[in-house]
Amino acid sequence: MSIDSLPPLREVIQRHELMAKKSLGQNFLLDLNLTGKVARQAGDLKDQTVIEVGPGPGGLTRALLAQGANVIAIERDERCLAALQEISDHYQGRLRVIAGDALDTDFSALAGGSNVKIVANLPYNVGTQLLISWLLSEPWPPFYASLTLMFQREVAERIVARPGSDAYGRLGVLAGWRTEAKITFDVPPQAFTPPPKVTSTVVHLVPRVAPLACDAAVLGRVTQAAFGQRRKMLRQSIKSLGGEALLAKVGIDPTRRAETLSIEEFVMLANAL
């Protein structure tokens, strides 16, 4: 069953000679049932503005449009622009393509005051960096209503990790502090062209309306120091930030290790700093 009357993605890729580039993290999803499933994780998209990073040949973009969204898509690879223009012509006025680098994009300005949803099959080389910048957005609650993002499975596990697990680190603290993050489903390598080496996973994050009060940048520094030497005791790993004296202020045992601290305890430490 087709979701629109546009040509199949394989044909689009052939016609526009879109051979995947590893340097741009290009692993394309060509099954429109699957891109539809990713888009549905973002909830009701009727008349919703969605920002998509890295539309590539437009598989996920088409699913978002078919579900009623207005899409702003940022793509760095100029080879994809002609293919995206065809989608834009088909869905008159509902797809705006921005040729550029997502890392240089002011997403809040793009949203222009409306509460957007961000949906993307992220290029693996910039995915974490983009997520951290969205998690550190100011003011909070942020300019987005939700993030629905595809990552490598291992990164997804770090985003939803709880204290005590090996995957728990800076990403888990920041995501858990400001959002409710959950894994929705896995996508096997063979669903992509070309197939990546590892399984991918879709994560859905919804901003908490009132996270514990804390300066995001300071929390970032504390977690970076603490997890930078995760096997060491905190008195050692956060020595440069005040070590034992800082830990004493908030009543945390200096012999504990970073991975045993709850998000609340990290927030207490950051506030004491």
Binding residues for ligand SAM, per CB under 6 A? 24-29, 53-56, 59-60, 74-77, 80, 101-103, 121, 123, 126
Position of minimal CB gap to ligand SAM = 54
Shortest Å, Cβ 106 to ligand SAM: 13
Of 24 and 233, CB closest to ligand SAM: 24
Shortest Å, Cβ 141 to ligand SAM: 25
Kind of pairing, strands 200-207 and 179-187? antiparallel
**28-56 b/e (C-beta count within 10 Å ≥ 16 → b):** bbbebebbbbbbebbeebeebbbbbbbbb
Q: How many CA atoms lie within 13 A of 5 on its CB side?
A: 3
Of 48 and 193, CB closest to ligand SAM: 193
Of 24 and 248, CB closest to ligand SAM: 24
Q: Which two tokens stand for residue 10?
A: 């394989």
Shortest Å, Cβ 4 to ligand SAM: 15
Q: Which two tokens stand for residue 248?
A: 């004493």
Of 73 and 246, CB closest to ligand SAM: 73
Residue owning tokens 């909830």 = 43
Shortest Å, Cβ 213 to ligand SAM: 33
Of 18 and 160, CB closest to ligand SAM: 18
Q: How many CA atoms lie within 13 A of 249 on its CB side?
A: 13
Shortest Å, Cβ 132 to ligand SAM: 14
CA 95 to CA 89: how far, in whole Å? Answer: 8
| Burial (CB count within 10 angstroms: exposed 0-12, middle 13-18, buried 19+), residue 64 | buried
Q: Tell me which residue of 242, 238, 244 sits closest to 225, measured CA to CA.
A: 238
- Residue 93 in contact with residue 170, Cβ under 8 Å? no
Shortest Å, Cβ 173 to ligand SAM: 25
SS3 content of the chain, % helix, strand, coil (to 5): 40, 20, 40
Shortest Å, Cβ 9 to ligand SAM: 8
Of 55 and 169, CB closest to ligand SAM: 55
Q: Which two tokens stand for residue 166?
A: 């090996």
CA 244 to CA 235: how far, in whole Å? Answer: 5
Of 25 and 36, CB closest to ligand SAM: 25
